[in-house]
């Protein structure tokens, strides 16, 4: 697939729909417009036009046509856009017409954005921000993604990189001209002062970085407890009442069911773990093991017990296995109590918040949802200032800080070559973050998640 081909794709959603947006990008975009609408509209002005099959002359549709000449287009190349009626046959006929133009072919997933990156219109962190914006399910995710698309992390990383290169230039001047009388003795001192400052700023962004990453995936809340306590009923009730299930996750397994919720704009991933209960059946044991693993990695565990039955309170062994914060939900309060059950709170040293609910009647659910929403909001409030949204960013900043530390450690040794080497490494690491240097290996990973037409 040539990267200089002219590409076209349906950029709007699945047909049939009111409108279908077809975009064409590349050197033949102008020719494509001339062929299908017989002219090239004024740049950036919506123009009503008849779309025809160039071979037969038959009118396919009437559309709004737009022309974005290079370099002032989203991809930096010539681009044309047709806003057609969104029917299958309309789109098929237009694709057929475009496909017959020499040098034109359907686009690969993410290929428009990839061209925008290659032409310097977006840096890599902005590309990731764009992917996140398209995937955003809640308001907080949307805000974070939009900030990243607009360069919150990329611009800052680029500014740091430039300062590093200036510091490096000072050290290199000292190395290159060490014999010459008119080069000031102390070039390394000022360079290291800059390095120290940069190190502080970059390390500062790493604090709280986990929350920015979490915002992409959602705060993980596991629903756990013995079989028949009412976990699935609770999950269904929470999902229904919030009316915000975005998707039962693709990775749903027999053991763990995932539901995505939007709680006041913040994303929560609810996990229903299979009943945690010792079993001699090896298949069940495996399910229990996985359920424990997921629950242990969660941010919050809702431990559901059957308040009407005896002996279903949380065992100490379960508490020890579950590291995150735990809330105890005494379910089935609509039923009469069989026997006095053991109090969950008094079993171990730490007092646990307790909610009395009925997953079937809905009693107590309001208080539980309010508490969940405020817990989630508290967790994410600290994220507002976090610019690190992916493990890739965190690793890049960690490596940069480590390289700057090496430069500072060599600061007093007089081995200027080693200081320069460490600064070069730091600058390259930041350059990889924004995609300025040597990133072929990570491009495919980043663009893999894009849809066709973006």
Residues contacting ligand GDP: total by CB under 6 A: 15
Q: Rounded CA gap, 9 and 54, in Å? A: 18
In the complex, least distance from residue 334 CB atom to ligand GDP, rounded to whole angstroms? 5
Q: Rank residues 61 and 258 by Cβ distance to ligand GDP and give the closer one.
A: 258
Helix ranges (H only) for 243-381 are 282-297, 316-321, 365-381
Q: Does 305 engage in binding with ligand GDP (CB under 6 A)?
A: no
- Contact at 8 Å (CB) between 123 and 435? yes
d(CA 260, CA 426): 38
Nearest to 218 by CA among 255, 247, 243, 241: 247
CB-based contact 51:36 (threshold 8 Å): yes
Q: Which of 331, 376, 425, 429 binds ligand GDP (CB under 6 A)?
A: 331
Find all residues with CB under 8 Å of 229, minimum gap 6, and list them.
275, 304, 305, 306, 312, 331
Segment contacting ligand GDP (CB under 6 A): 11-19, 47-55, 331-339, 425-433? 331-339
Cα dihedral sign for 402, 405, 410, 411?
positive
407 binds ligand GDP per the rule CB under 6 A = no
16 contacts ligand GDP (rule: CB under 6 A): no
Tokens read off for 136: 């955003």
Which CB atom, from 199 or from 231, has the smaller least distance to ligand GDP?
Answer: 231
Smaller CB separation from ligand GDP, 28 or 332: 332
Cα separation of the two ends of the chain? 17
What minimum distance in Å lies between the beta carbon of 230 and ligand GDP? 3
Please list every residue from 272 through 301 that binds ligand GDP, using CB under 6 A. Answer: 275
331 vs 425, beta carbon nearer ligand GDP: 331
Residue 133 in contact with residue 142, Cβ under 8 Å? yes
Stretch that binds ligand GDP, among 2-10, 117-125, 224-232, 439-447 (CB under 6 A): 224-232
User: Is 335 among the residues that bind ligand GDP (CB under 6 A)?
Assistant: yes
Residue 228 touching ligand GDP (CB under 6 A):
yes
| Residue 303 phi, psi (nearest 5) | -95, 110
Report 345-364 residues binding ligand GDP (CB under 6 A). 358-360
231: contact with ligand GDP by CB under 6 A: yes
Task: Name the residues that contact ligand GDP, by CB under 6 A.
Answer: 227-233, 275, 331-332, 334-335, 358-360
């Amino acid at each position: 697939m040539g990267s200089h081909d002219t590409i076209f794709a349906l950029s709007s959603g699945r047909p049939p729909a009111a409108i279908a947006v077809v975009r064409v990008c590349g050197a033949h975009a102008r020719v494509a417009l001339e062929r299908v609408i017989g002219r090239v509209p004024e740049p950036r002005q919506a123009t009503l036009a008849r779309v025809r099959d160039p071979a037969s002359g038959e009118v396919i549709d009437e559309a709004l046509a737009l022309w974005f000449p290079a370099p002032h287009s989203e991809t930096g190349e010539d681009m044309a856009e047709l806003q057609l009626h969104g029917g299958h046959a309309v789109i098929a006929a237009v694709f057929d017409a475009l496909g017959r133009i020499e040098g034109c072919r359907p686009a690969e997933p993410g290929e428009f954005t990839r061209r925008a990156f290659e032409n310097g219109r977006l840096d890599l962190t902005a590309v990731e921000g764009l992917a996140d914006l398209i995937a955003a399910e809640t308001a907080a995710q949307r805000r974070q993604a939009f900030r990243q698309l607009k360069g919150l992390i990329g611009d800052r990383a680029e500014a740091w990189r430039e300062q590093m290169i200036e510091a490096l230039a000072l050290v290199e001047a000292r190395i290159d001209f060490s014999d010459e009388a008119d080069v000031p003795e102390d070039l390394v001192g000022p360079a290291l002062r800059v390095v120290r400052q940069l190190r502080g700023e970059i390390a500062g962004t790493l604090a709280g970085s986990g929350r920015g990453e979490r915002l992409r995936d959602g705060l993980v809340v596991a629903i756990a407890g013995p079989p028949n306590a009412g976990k699935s009923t609770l999950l269904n009730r929470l999902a229904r009442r919030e009316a915000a299930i975005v998707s039962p996750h693709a990775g749903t397994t027999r053991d763990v069911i995932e539901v995505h919720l939007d709680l006041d704009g913040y994303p929560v991933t609810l996990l229903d773990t299979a009943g945690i209960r010792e079993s001699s059946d090896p298949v069940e044991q495996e399910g229990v093991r996985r359920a424990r693993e997921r629950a242990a990695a969660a941010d919050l565990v809702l431990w559901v017990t059957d308040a009407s039955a005896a002996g279903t309170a949380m065992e100490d062994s379960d508490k020890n296995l579950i590291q995150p914060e735990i809330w105890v939900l005494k379910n089935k309060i609509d039923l009469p109590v069989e026997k006095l059950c053991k109090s969950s709170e008094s079993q171990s040293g730490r007092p646990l918040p307790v909610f009395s609910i009925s997953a079937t009647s809905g009693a107590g659910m309001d208080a539980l949802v309010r508490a969940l929403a405020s817990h989630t909001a508290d967790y994410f409030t600290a994220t507002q200032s976090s610019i690190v949204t992916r493990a890739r960013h965190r690793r890049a900043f960690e490596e940069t800080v480590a390289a700057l530390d090496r430069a500072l450690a060599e600061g007093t040794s007089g081995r200027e070559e080693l200081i320069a080497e460490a600064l070069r490494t730091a600058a390259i690491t930041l350059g990889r973050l924004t995609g300025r240097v040597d990133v072929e290996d990570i491009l495919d990973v980043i663009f893999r998640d894009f849809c066709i037409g973006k």
